[in-house]
Structure 1
C-alpha cells in the first residue's frame, strides 16, 4: 500500500501543476499562483487587456511551495496564495511590497467523485465517510502544509471524521493533483475547492463542507518587493477589475 501511495504522489508531482523553473526574460512579469487558480487565471491572461501589459508567465503550485521559492529568491512579481498563512509567511520575510496586499477571492471546500459514480456521502457532524470510500482512498492536498489540505483536515476534524479516514488519505502535492486522482479513477473521493469542481467536467460535487467546519477560504494577492515593475502593478490592478471578478465568479470563486 505504501508503494501505491508513493507511486500516486510521484505521478502528481510530474503533473503540469508542479512548480518548475521558468525560462524568463528580465522584462517578463512572473506570477506565482495557487494551483486552484489555474483555469480562471489562464483565461484572464488571454484577454486583450492582459496581453497589452506585456509578457506574463505563470507558475502554479501549492502555496507553501511557492512561498518557499519566493523566500529563496525566485523572481515572482505577484503572488496569489490560497490562504492567509503563506502570504503572512512571505510578508514576515519582508518580501511583500508595502500597501499591495489585498484579499482577491474566496472559495468553498467540497467533496467530489467521478461524474458517473453513484457515491453519496454525508458531511454532517458525527457522520462517516468510510461507507462512501469503500475499499478506496481519499485524495486531498498535503494536510500538513498545503492550504486545501489544511482546510480539509480541519473540516474533517471538526466533523469528527479525521481519525477514521487519516490512514486512508493519499496526499497530493497540490489541490489540482488531488483532483486528478479522482479524474483518473485512482481515488473514489477527493477534497478540493468548489472552483476545481466547476472547471473539471469529469467530476461532480458529492457534498459541500459546512462553512463553519474550517476557516474562511481567502486568496490574498500581493506584489513582491524588488519585482514590482510597472507591468506587475498594471496586472495587480487588472485582477481586481469588475471584468476579472466576473471571470473568477464564472470559475466558482467568491468575489470580494
Structure 2
C-alpha cells in the first residue's frame, strides 16, 4: 500500500518548470511580455523577456550572453547569428510582419495616406528633428533610411535625423515632445496615445518588415524554448500578436 502511494505521488509530480530567457527586439517588447504571461499560465513554464535593439541583442549572444530564444526585427541579424552557428537553424521561422509609419506628436486621426516623394517632411519638422532608430544598425532605422532614399528624401533629411538606440527610444522622443516627427513601426504607434500616424510608407519603398525567431545554439532550456516558439506561432500566440497589430508571417 505504501509502495503504491509512493509510486502514485511520483507519477503525479509535474515535470520541472523551466525558465527561458527571450531576447526580443524592442518593437516586440509589449506583445512578447503579454505572450510570455499567457504562455506561463498555460504551460507552467516561465519566459523572461529582455527587449533591446536587434543588433545589440545579436552581439550580446555572440559575446556569450545567456539567451534561449531570439526574436529579431529583421532577418539580417538572424542571418548574422546563423552564419556564426549561434542559433539552431532548424527552429528558425518568421512569426509576424509589420508596417513602417511616420508619426507626429499629439492626438489626431491616424492617417492611411501614403508618404510620397511630395510629402513635405522637412517642412513639417520646422526647426525640429526627425526621430529614428540607428540608421546603420537597428532594423527600424535601416527600413526608414531605405524608404526615405527610395522616395528621394534621405539626402535632405539625413542632417536632421535624431538617432536613438532602438525604435522604442525613437517613439519616446516624439511622445515626449523632443522631436516633432519620427519613423517607427505601426505597432509602436498604436500602443502610444501621445502620438498619431501622420502617414504610412509604401511597402515597396523598403524591404519587407519580417520578424523571425529562433532557439539559440547554446540555449539552457532548448525544449522549453522550442515549445515557446511553437506556442507563439499557434492560435493562442497569434491572437496576442494580432491584438498588438502585427501582421501574419509571410
Shorter-chain TM-score tier: 0.7 to 0.9
Contact 2:110–2:196 (CA under 8 A) maintained in structure 1: no
| Cα shift at 1:131 | 1.2
- What are the within-5 Å matches in structure 2 for residues 121-160 of structure 1? 123-160=115-152
Residue 94 (str. 1) matches residue 121 (str. 2): no
Distance in 2 separating the partners of 1:57 and 1:211: 32
Distance in 2 separating the partners of 1:136 and 1:122: 22
Per-residue CA distance 1:107-134 (angstroms, 9 max, x = gap): 0000011123799997212443111101
Distance in 2 separating the partners of 1:51 and 1:186: 41
Which residue among 30, 54, 57 is the counterpart of 1:39?
Answer: 30
Distance in 1 separating the partners of 2:141 and 2:76: 13
Structure 1 pair 217/119, CA: closer, same or farther in 2 (3 Å)? closer
Q: Secondary structure at the match of 2:171?
A: helix
Which residue among 55, 59, 62 is the counterpart of 1:68?
Answer: 59
Structure 1 pair 185/249, CA: closer, same or farther in 2 (3 Å)? same
Structure 1 pair 118/248, CA: closer, same or farther in 2 (3 Å)? closer
| Cα shift at 1:166 | 0.6
Q: Secondary structure at the match of 1:239?
A: helix
Q: Secondary structure at the match of 1:135?
A: coil
**Map of 1:235 onto structure 2:** 228
Q: Secondary structure at the match of 1:255?
A: coil
- What are the within-5 Å matches in structure 2 for residues 1-256 of structure 1? 28-47=19-38, 49=40, 52-116=43-107, 123-227=115-219, 228-256=221-249
Distance in 1 separating the partners of 2:41 and 2:204: 36
Q: Which has the higher helix share?
A: 2
The number of aligned residues is: 231
Distance in 1 separating the partners of 2:160 and 2:41: 43
Q: Structure 1: 5+ residue runs without aligned partners?
A: 1-26
Q: Secondary structure at the match of 2:183?
A: strand
Larger radius of gyration: 2
| Cα shift at 1:144 | 0.6
Distance in 2 separating the partners of 1:111 and 1:234: 36
Q: Secondary structure at the match of 2:155?
A: helix
Distance in 2 separating the partners of 1:35 and 1:230: 25
Distance in 2 separating the partners of 1:144 and 1:105: 23
Per-residue CA distance 1:163-196 (angstroms, 9 max, x = gap): 1111110000000000000110000001000000
The normalised TM-score by structure 1 is 0.85
